Structure 1
Amino acid sequence: MALTVVLIIGLYINNELSFDRFNQKADRIYRVNSDISFSLQGLQTAAAPTPLGATLKRDIPEVEEAVRLGIYQSCLVRSTRENIREQAVLLADSTLFNVFTLPVLAGNPKMALAQPNSVIITERMAKKYFGTAKALNKVLIFNNQESKQVSAITKDIPVRSHFQVDFILPLWETKNAKVDKGGNHIFNTYILLRPGTNPRAVEAKFETILQTYMDPALRRFFNTSLAEARKKGNYFRYSLMPLTDIHLHSTRAGELTPNGSIEYVYIFTGIGLFILLIAVVNFINLTTARSIKRAREIGVRKVLGSNRKGLISQFLSESVLIAFISMLGALVMVLALLPLFNTLTAESLSISELLNIPSAIGLLSFTALIGIMAGIYPAFYLSSFQPATAIKGILGSLPNGQNLRSSLVVFQFAMSVLLIIGTLLINQQMHFIQRKNLGFEKEQILILKTTEVPDHQLRTFKEIALQNSKVKAATISSFLPVTSKRSGDYWYPQGQTDQKYSVIMQEWEVDDDYLATYKMKLLQGRYFIKGQVTDSARVVINKSAAKQLGYKQPVGKTIHKQGGEQLTIIGVVKDFHYESLRTKIEPLCFMLDTDIVAGRNSDALSLRLETEDMVSLLSALESKWKKISPGQPFEYSFLNESFDDMYRTEHRVQVLFTVFTTIAILISCLGLFGLATFTAEQRTKEIGVRKVLGASVASIVTLLSRDFLKPVLYAILIASPIAWYMMNRWLEDFSYRINIEWWVFVLAAGLAVGIALITVSFQSIKAALMNPVRSLKSD
């Protein structure tokens, strides 16, 4: 069991540590990260100023090449009449193939992104849309209007890549004045350093870049210099992150895809080691517990001339053999359980990772080492028996042997208690997330993706949907209250132009039904009124925005961008969580977008439903949709599913932590059972004497159980502070979190004691019920 867990965790860790290493130049590829604080508001992003890559290549000789990547909105793609929505679409510079290793099956990589109507697709997409990988120069239609010619076909992007892509569009077609501004952080920028270059030496030159390019931009757009901004506590820092570190060490804004976490690698590595050590301790305890049965064998061997060295070799060979048999069993169990693990974790681990010569050698060495670790103490212990006493079946004892075994049980249960506390707190935090008042109602909200739907069709469908009594409300909006890619801008309170008063605020374009559909609470003022055109010059802000703007009574006040038009605040909405609970609620404003009201430029249509027969309602809505917008897929999701997706990693950890904790407790119980067996056999005659002298079964069970509970109590005392520290660190990642209460530790202690009592009671009762005549007849 332990080796099965270790192998599965080992495959998971190997998978996590292997990301992006398929790139032939991986050791020389770095991403430019940005750390910016302006108006004392910090931003850590994976994006860099749009022209920075080209600037670094031009001004720093050590930079060999640069490329920008950017997420493209999901889009409809078709080669025939049927549209399919695709999510894995990226924008990239033509230098893409000079930096990343993307094997080209057809086409010229140097010219693949040279034309605005070109597209690079993977082999999988070629077969999907054209039925063959030979799809060069064929045409795909994007969003019902853009014809793109396939300019290259690449092999499928490896799963272990920090970005997943099926379609690559030329980034240069997006160039315009807004994109090319130095202050805009839109794309992720990667640079390829020349061989032998020290990345720290390149970072040292970033200050010159800031002085040369950032200072003029600040003077132009914010009427301040770089030096003046820094004096006020602001900073602009650009740093290089190795490509192979991105997946596990980066959780910045603007990531191309959600990354993993090095913390979970550490957590599961620790769990694997704990379970393995618990199993090794078990082997030691179980071997010594049954040693009395081998006492005569050892005595006879010694009388017949076996020396201690030979006996040690024999016992070590036995433990190593058992380890190899266990490893064979573990490989079979891994083969059977890996599909379930992949389902729980959404990974694609394969046992084929172990089927190569280096892995086989490592596995054999690891197994032999485990066998030696498990057998070293029993080998020395068993070989120390004196022949005379051993032949009589009287088990000898090494100095401090009992203390060592008790210490091992303390270690076992300390690890188990640690995992129990961790499981309880993870479950408690997840329950807190699920029950937290988000500031809106997420249940039974149907989301229709409608980016490509023509103007009039979307609004028509909204009105038709509302005629169904099961549809209680509907809204067209650019953003949903779940994690998505979005950006903010600097806004100033009324009469202020100094950057120290600016506030970075999200801008959500919504229609006049947004608040009612999501059942958000208005704290002050009013919301947008249907048909009131003048509301397009007004804005509704959240409570956090009002606080940062310095307004106690914000209604009637105005806000503005640098050099932009003024908008009047007409209402304040209660703060609601539109990111995960790891993130603090930031300033946000609702704007009435006249395009959205007219049914244009929207991202999603949200419908609040109220029915128990969801299947028939969805069928009816789909039928209406196909009549209004033929050729457009009826694609929907539920908001609560999108909400759950934000905590997918935590859900997986919750399940795996529970499973591994259960296994650890089970193995620990086996260890305690072994110690109980050993103790009962050692004290057989003592129990017989006590019973002859009138001791009751209850008193004997209490006597034996008390000795077993001492190590468990010590384990609780040791594990509790360690668990408190570790779980406190984990909870620090959440801006909104539970408090660690004392009762969690009491409950964990109660569970550990209860499990220990159940485990030892069988042996204690069995020993107490034994006929004293049988245990004393030899004396």
Structure 2
Amino acid sequence: MLKNQITIAFRSLLKNRGYSFINVAGLAVGMACAILIFLVVRHETSYDLSQSRLDRIYRVENENIKEGHTYPGLYTGMGNALRTDLPEAELTAPFLKINKTFSAGDKRFRESFVFADQGAFRMLDYKWLSGNPATALTQPNTVVLTRNYALKYFGTADALGKIMRIDNKQDLLVAGVIEDYPSTTSFAFNLMVSFSTLKNLDPDFDQNRWNGWNDNFQVFVLLKKGVQPYDLDNRFTHIIEKYMGKDALADKRFKLAALSELHYSRNLADRQANVGLLQILSFIGLLVLLIACFNFINLSTAQAFKRAKEVGIRKAIGSNRKLLISQFITEAALTTVLATILAGILSVQLLPNVASMLAIPLTNDDLFNTQTALFAGNLALITTLLAGFYPALRLSGMSPIWALKSNVVTKHNQWFSLRQGLVVVQFTVSLVLITSALMINRQLSFFRNADLGFNKAAIITVGLPDNKPEKLLTLRNQLTKSAQIKDVSFSFNSASAESNWMQGMQFRQGPKMTEVKTQMKMGDSHFLDTYGIKLLAGEPLKDSDTTDLKVLANEIFLDRIGVKSPREAVGQRIYFGDGDEFATIVGVVKNFNVNSLHQKIDPTLIQVVPNNFYQAGIKLQSEKTSAESVKAALAYIEKSWTLTYPNEVFEYSFLDETLAQAYKSETRTASLIEVSTFLAVLIACMGLFGLATFTAEQRTKEIGVRKVLGASVGSIVTLLSKDFLKLVLIAIMIASPIAWYVMSQWLKNFEFKINIEWWMFAITGLIMICTALMTVSFQSVRAALLNPVRSLRSE
């Protein structure tokens, strides 16, 4: 029986090749989309799950109560405080991530690495190739490498006991080699240097600092068995009182974040999953698959009249409804199997593009494994039932007497059929996606062209391995000799950066004290000119403003301390926390976006602190540069930089490109929405084309009669197209409010954003109407041009 059903199913597919192609291709695209999204979601939700102590490892986070915002970075004093004041913690592991130059022999590279101590190896699971995990980082000037980095620097994994150098200042002994970390880890560290080495490299580093925190300094704890995070509230309150004072309790709270959630927030590995993006991905995958299934349902039920006599004969000779349902489900299953095979081929071809678009390390090994096979099998089964069950019920339910007497499907007295409803749903989804793509791209365009309060064009940034005054003077003198370079500024970071230095400041007026959480911008006397920041009042900073502390304040800082005019602010004192150290405001600058446009502009102070100059901003003379002139300028910058730092690795970046990285999540979302929109519209139009073909076939005699009676080609095209256009118009009416709500919710993520305007929906509707017209008109015109004699003779 099964063999007979499969044979009949094959014959049915071959008999209706056009409809079969639309069904198989549509389902294949939908299933490939679902499989690829499954791979992405599975990868992003599997981070750190292999850690054996997963349920007891937490990151200590820093919450600002007034802001309602939580930061992953901590005060450097927290590491020692947790060891002495948190007995519920079995282990404490601090990490500090920075960039330095490492060398071994003639190999030299600029690397991102972490300072860590022994707690890291006792808390986290590592596979050791050589070395003693109990002592590897207990001594100063020691380093642990991954296998890959041992090969990179020494050409062999047997690197134990070998010497490498950091910043050409300090030799490091390789105390251990560990296996390369898996792709699904939040601790992607190739180089781990002992924390006790830090004092040798930076004598000014304070491991007991409680004034200002760094997002690159994070602390993890392994709680003792049975201890829950909420049990430690009083402990953290005590730590705040002990080290920061009771007044800090009003604005400060420390809390624990589970390791299993670390991948969804900022982490030291810089591999952060966007929960919203994963949800959007999953929802889009479901929608695209449903659209493909709706095509199958529509085309299968539309062909019911062609199967009418077959069903009537089967029932007349004794076939029951159960066997008929089985036959039609078999046909749906065969279509789905073919679609699954094609979906697998598409997935192999598209996986590299998806991995590149989302910056996720996915390979064919992720595609060809048991989990993916099980998912694809279950997906095929669900798709078969979803796409085939309703058509099977509909076709098997025909009355045998009616089926044998008629060759057309009688029209039910209903104003809206299921088939029309499914078409409306398809185009509603497509319209929502098109509108979303349009608005996301407008928001990204707004990001690219927004006035940031400074000039980001034609600025090249390079790292500073050594910020000694004589080195900086040498570099500046070398660079400014070139006619292509307009100005050079040394600073902690750029005018706008994702990694910033936060500081608690106080403004005191008699007994009244105003506390302001302030972003500190460390820059030299050229900072304003290089970045084009406007000075509103007072005077710019001088490079000598280090002994008698002087600062520039932005307008928001003035607003927070209650000073009304820039001129009034000049000369005012502001204090660092609740201590006696103060700085004097010597000038006020116009507000500029110190963060990305996701966030409000912070109260900001600019201060000259040469010890914290880690970057040079180099402004080119012309903002309209050619590729040749940029290449020449970079060559000169590299030559000057190498003369100043002969044993270091030169790396550069363009400021505008660096700032664009802050919006990579939105850029990826836009790309995904665009691809999904294309797929959804393609599948919907394939289905619409099939329905238009079917309608034209069904109304062949009517078209012939109308032409004989004098109907024009235009009137016949209008006749065949208007019913479909009505469905598109209904979809526009439904999709517009849905798209408005979805995008208004998405735009809430941004402090600076576009306005949603009516013309966006009008353009979307027009695009969909034109697309539907082009899809339907091909078959309509073809039917209208058919010889009426042939139309009237056809059966």
TM-score, normalization: structure 1?
Answer: 0.90
Separation (CA, whole Å) in 1 of partners of 2:557 and 2:123? 42
Does the CA contact (< 8 Å) of 2:85 and 2:239 recur in 1? Answer: no
- Residue from 192, 214, 226 that aligns with 2:222: 192
Give the Å deviation of 1:48.
4.5
Separation (CA, whole Å) in 1 of partners of 2:667 and 2:655? 17
Residue 603 of structure 1 corresponds to: 614
Superposed counterparts of 1:481-500, under 5 Å: 481-495=495-509
Residue 23 of structure 2 corresponds to: none
Does the CA contact (< 8 Å) of 1:524 and 1:573 recur in 2? Answer: yes
Give the Å deviation of 1:425.
0.7
- Residue from 549, 558, 582 that aligns with 1:546: 558
Superposed counterparts of 1:411-560, under 5 Å: 411-452=425-466, 455-495=469-509, 501-529=514-542, 537-552=549-564, 553-560=568-575
Separation (CA, whole Å) in 1 of partners of 2:67 and 2:452? 24
Give the Å deviation of 1:584.
0.8
2:116 paired with 1:92: yes
- Residue from 355, 364, 376 that aligns with 1:351: 364
Does the CA contact (< 8 Å) of 1:384 and 1:398 recur in 2? Answer: no
Q: Assess, with a 3 A threshold, how the Cα gap between structure 1 residues 381 and 678 changes in structure 2: closer, same or farther.
A: farther
Does the CA contact (< 8 Å) of 1:446 and 1:606 recur in 2? Answer: yes
Q: Assess, with a 3 A threshold, how the Cα gap between structure 1 residues 8 and 648 changes in structure 2: closer, same or farther.
A: same
Does the CA contact (< 8 Å) of 1:453 and 1:632 recur in 2? Answer: no
Separation (CA, whole Å) in 2 of partners of 1:168 and 1:573? 41
2:347 paired with 1:327: no
Residue 355 of structure 2 corresponds to: 342
Give the Å deviation of 1:86.
0.2
SS in structure 2 at match of 1:191? strand
Q: Which amino acid counterpart does residue 543 of structure 1 have in structure 2? A: E
Give the Å deviation of 1:666.
0.7
Give the Å deviation of 1:264.
0.4
Separation (CA, whole Å) in 2 of partners of 1:77 and 1:177? 20
Separation (CA, whole Å) in 1 of partners of 2:205 and 2:547? 29
Q: Which amino acid counterpart does residue 79 of structure 1 have in structure 2? A: A
Give the Å deviation of 1:623.
3.0
Give the Å deviation of 1:497.
6.8
Residue 147 of structure 1 corresponds to: 171
Does the CA contact (< 8 Å) of 1:137 and 1:151 recur in 2? Answer: yes
- Residue from 17, 21, 31 that aligns with 2:45: 17
Q: Which amino acid counterpart does residue 435 of structure 1 have in structure 2? A: N
Separation (CA, whole Å) in 2 of partners of 1:686 and 1:198? 79
* Greater CA drift, 673-682 or 748-757: 673-682
Residue 306 of structure 1 corresponds to: 319
Residue 80 of structure 1 corresponds to: 105
Q: Could you list the per-position Cα deviations for residues 247-272 of structure 1 after superposition, in whole angstroms to 9, with x for gaps in the alignment?
A: 12x35xx7652522110010011110
Give the Å deviation of 1:19.
1.2
Q: Assess, with a 3 A threshold, how the Cα gap between structure 1 residues 358 and 520 changes in structure 2: closer, same or farther.
A: closer
Separation (CA, whole Å) in 1 of partners of 2:430 and 2:714? 28
- Residue from 762, 765, 768 that aligns with 2:778: 762
Separation (CA, whole Å) in 2 of partners of 1:2 and 1:167? 43
* Greater CA drift, 367-376 or 294-303: 294-303
Separation (CA, whole Å) in 2 of partners of 1:256 and 1:180? 25
Q: Which runs of 4+ in 1 moved over 6 A?
A: 57-61
- Residue from 409, 416, 429 that aligns with 1:396: 409
Give the Å deviation of 1:123.
1.0
Does the CA contact (< 8 Å) of 2:104 and 2:165 recur in 1? Answer: yes
Does the CA contact (< 8 Å) of 1:451 and 1:601 recur in 2? Answer: no
Q: Which amino acid counterpart does residue 505 of structure 1 have in structure 2? A: T
Does the CA contact (< 8 Å) of 2:464 and 2:614 recur in 1? Answer: yes
Q: Which amino acid counterpart does residue 624 of structure 1 have in structure 2? A: S
Q: Assess, with a 3 A threshold, how the Cα gap between structure 1 residues 333 and 43 changes in structure 2: closer, same or farther.
A: closer
Q: Assess, with a 3 A threshold, how the Cα gap between structure 1 residues 631 and 178 changes in structure 2: closer, same or farther.
A: closer
Residue 422 of structure 2 corresponds to: 408
Does the CA contact (< 8 Å) of 1:556 and 1:568 recur in 2? Answer: yes
Separation (CA, whole Å) in 2 of partners of 1:634 and 1:189? 31
Give the Å deviation of 1:679.
2.8
Q: Assess, with a 3 A threshold, how the Cα gap between structure 1 residues 627 and 31 changes in structure 2: closer, same or farther.
A: closer
Q: Which amino acid counterpart does residue 33 of structure 2 have in structure 1? A: V
Separation (CA, whole Å) in 2 of partners of 1:46 and 1:592? 27
Does the CA contact (< 8 Å) of 1:680 and 1:763 recur in 2? Answer: yes
Give the Å deviation of 1:273.
0.4
Q: Which amino acid counterpart does residue 57 of structure 2 have in structure 1? A: I
SS in structure 2 at match of 1:563? coil
Separation (CA, whole Å) in 2 of partners of 1:534 and 1:159? 45
Give the Å deviation of 1:55.
5.9
Separation (CA, whole Å) in 2 of partners of 1:536 and 1:667? 69
Residue 586 of structure 1 corresponds to: 602
Does the CA contact (< 8 Å) of 2:594 and 2:602 recur in 1? Answer: no
Separation (CA, whole Å) in 2 of partners of 1:478 and 1:48? 19
Give the Å deviation of 1:135.
0.5
Percent of aligned pairs sharing the same letter: 36
Does the CA contact (< 8 Å) of 1:385 and 1:395 recur in 2? Answer: no
Residue 138 of structure 1 corresponds to: 162
Q: Assess, with a 3 A threshold, how the Cα gap between structure 1 residues 474 and 203 changes in structure 2: closer, same or farther.
A: same
Residue 161 of structure 1 corresponds to: 185
- The number of residues matched between the two structures is 751
Give the Å deviation of 1:45.
1.2
SS in structure 2 at match of 1:134? coil
Superposed counterparts of 1:581-660, under 5 Å: 581-593=597-609, 596=610, 602-609=613-620, 610=622, 611-612=625-626, 613-660=629-676
Residue 3 of structure 1 corresponds to: 31
SS in structure 1 at match of 2:771? helix
Superposed counterparts of 1:21-36, under 5 Å: 21-36=49-64
Residue 272 of structure 2 corresponds to: 259
Superposed counterparts of 1:702-717, under 5 Å: 702-717=718-733
Structure 1 spans left out of the alignment, 5+ residues: 220-224
Residue 669 of structure 1 corresponds to: 685
Q: Assess, with a 3 A threshold, how the Cα gap between structure 1 residues 749 and 198 changes in structure 2: closer, same or farther.
A: farther
Q: Could you list the per-position Cα deviations for residues 146-167 of structure 1 after superposition, in whole angstroms to 9, with x for gaps in the alignment?
A: 1111111111222222232111
Give the Å deviation of 1:81.
3.9
SS in structure 2 at match of 1:74? strand
Structure 2 spans left out of the alignment, 5+ residues: 1-28
Q: Assess, with a 3 A threshold, how the Cα gap between structure 1 residues 216 and 625 changes in structure 2: closer, same or farther.
A: closer
Residue 180 of structure 1 corresponds to: 208
Q: Assess, with a 3 A threshold, how the Cα gap between structure 1 residues 218 and 559 changes in structure 2: closer, same or farther.
A: same
Residue 298 of structure 2 corresponds to: 285
Give the Å deviation of 1:718.
1.8
Residue 222 of structure 1 corresponds to: none
Q: Assess, with a 3 A threshold, how the Cα gap between structure 1 residues 41 and 718 changes in structure 2: closer, same or farther.
A: closer
Q: Could you list the per-position Cα deviations for residues 578-624 of structure 1 after superposition, in whole angstroms to 9, with x for gaps in the alignment?
A: 2211011101111133xx3xxx6531122111342222232233333
Q: Could you list the per-position Cα deviations for residues 689-733 of structure 1 after superposition, in whole angstroms to 9, with x for gaps in the alignment?
A: 433444333223223222112222222222222221221121111
Separation (CA, whole Å) in 2 of partners of 1:746 and 1:268? 26
Separation (CA, whole Å) in 1 of partners of 2:430 and 2:506? 55
Does the CA contact (< 8 Å) of 1:78 and 1:84 recur in 2? Answer: yes
Q: Which amino acid counterpart does residue 77 of structure 1 have in structure 2? A: F
Separation (CA, whole Å) in 2 of partners of 1:117 and 1:496? 50
Q: Which amino acid counterpart does residue 33 of structure 1 have in structure 2? A: E
Give the Å deviation of 1:361.
2.8
* Greater CA drift, 757-766 or 416-425: 757-766
Separation (CA, whole Å) in 2 of partners of 1:743 and 1:24? 55
2:765 paired with 1:749: yes
Separation (CA, whole Å) in 1 of partners of 2:224 and 2:279? 33
Q: Which amino acid counterpart does residue 412 of structure 1 have in structure 2? A: Q
Separation (CA, whole Å) in 2 of partners of 1:534 and 1:389? 97
* Greater CA drift, 743-752 or 40-49: 40-49
Give the Å deviation of 1:218.
4.3
Superposed counterparts of 1:216-235, under 5 Å: 216-219=242-245, 225=246, 234-235=250-251
Residue 70 of structure 1 corresponds to: 96
